[in-house]
Amino acid sequence: MKNVLFVSYEFPPLNRGGVYRPLGFVKYLKDFGINPIILTLAQRDFPVVYGEVGLDNSIIDRFFSNMNIIEVSSLKLLNSNKSKFLNFINIFFSINGREGKAWEVDFKIKIKSAIDKYKPSALIVTAPPFSIIPLVINAGKQYNIPVITDFRDAMSQWNMNPFGSYFHYFLTLKNERKYLIESDAIIVTSKQTLNDFSSHHPKISASKFNYIPNGFDGKLEEWTPLPEKQSYTIGYVGSFYYTPETRKNLFTPWWRKKGHHIFQYSPNLEDWLYRSPYFFFKTFSYFIEANPIWKKRIKIKFAGFIPDWLIKMIEEFCLNDIVELKGVISHKDSINFQKECDVLLITSAKKINGRDYSIAGKTFEYFKTQKPILAFVAEGAQKDLLNESGMALILNPDEIEASARLMHDFFERKMHLNPNISFIEQFDRKMQTKKLAKVIQDLN
């Protein structure tokens, strides 16, 4: 077996969305003659980096027995400065984030030891956080080992918050190009990200890029169309990656900002309100106002972190009696929760005058569960994927009345979805890992 070092800052038992892609890869690589050794953030540092953090020990019980994991400590703590001014300076002048800097000392020690012991044929790094990418690339140069960089997001186009200034964006774009050039192979999770990279970095050879989307584990469940019953449950799993504060930062013009905020810059506008359930709530409220009989026939359940704005949004639309917030649950319980729902909800951010590149990881778990999907999605990769799957009722978040009518016809069972099973089956996680194994083998 070939050994590879797989550097994943986020990894179980950390319970965050970014852990499941690397977990899926390392779970199946051995089936293709490749033995992964994982370098990841030390568990004791989770609270330092993420604050109040969730752990999912059920993942450990299922997968960790045959995994070789090396923990890397943040010897320089991210919040070590007591001075608010120094903390501001550190954050404002940090281009890629501070995680890599805090990790660097112990990382160099641990990766040298791992390379000496395992003689890896490749180094793989998955990001974000993007600040760990140069650590791996530099190690690849030092020890003459090829580097594969897995971009779960595109550095320069990930725009939840505005950049500190145009100069911040310029340096981010420059660093992104540098990492793309210095990586021996590049992996992206959506075709739109491929297009964005090609557009912003046209001189980089297309042969370097590999499209390997996320996936699901195991066989598909049997398709469960909307049954004829008295009441239904609509379920949502995971985070929304939206806050009113960050949206305000994005959409407030510079002349109305204060202090250093006047220098903020956004290369494109992504409206993350669309990623929240706002437009679903708005449409659902219109639907039950026009069809009062359905108010007592539908229950909405959310499983995941409960932000204050979500509670206020539920109150704004007077849905307290209909919506149930389950809070953070384990991955195992999340799968069971999806199976218990009749319909699954998904949303996407909206890129103003453009196409969103992001595809939520939960999409592929929804595929496996084989339940109908209510998709409040804007133009982009998420909508394209769901449309081709045949599993989703595509609803335009900007056309409330039309979407409410479609929702009515759906729940009245006047329209039916037809899953494209041959398309969906390609997202089996083992099949996606086979693509990664080929990338590794082609480098050696």
> What average pLDDT does the structure give for the chain?
91
Specify the pLDDT at position 209.
96
Which regions of the chain are under pLDDT 70? 60-65, 76-95
Bin 253: left if φ > 0, else alpha if -120 < ψ < 50, else beta. beta
Neighbouring CB atoms inside 10 A of 120's CB total 24
Residue 437, Cβ density class (10 Å: 0-12 exposed, 13-18 middle, ≥19 buried): buried
CATH fold, domain 232-425, is Rossmann fold (3.40.50)
- Render pLDDT for 110-143 as a digit per residue (tens, 0 to 9): 999 999 999 999 999 999 999 999 999 999 999 9
Residue 68 pairs in a beta bridge with 37
Specify the pLDDT at position 92.
54
User: CATH number for the 2-214+429-442 domain, one of 3.40.50.2000, 3.40.190.10, 3.40.50.1820, 3.40.50.720?
Assistant: 3.40.50.2000
Specify the pLDDT at position 324.
97
Beta-strand ranges (E) seen in 304-391 are 323-327, 343-347, 350-351, 373-376
Specify the pLDDT at position 98.
81
Specify the pLDDT at position 90.
55
Specify the pLDDT at position 275.
96
d(CA 97, CA 8): 16
Of 151, 193, 201, the residue nearest 173 (C-alpha): 201
Q: Which residues of the chain form CATH 3.40.50.2000?
A: 2-214+429-442, 232-425
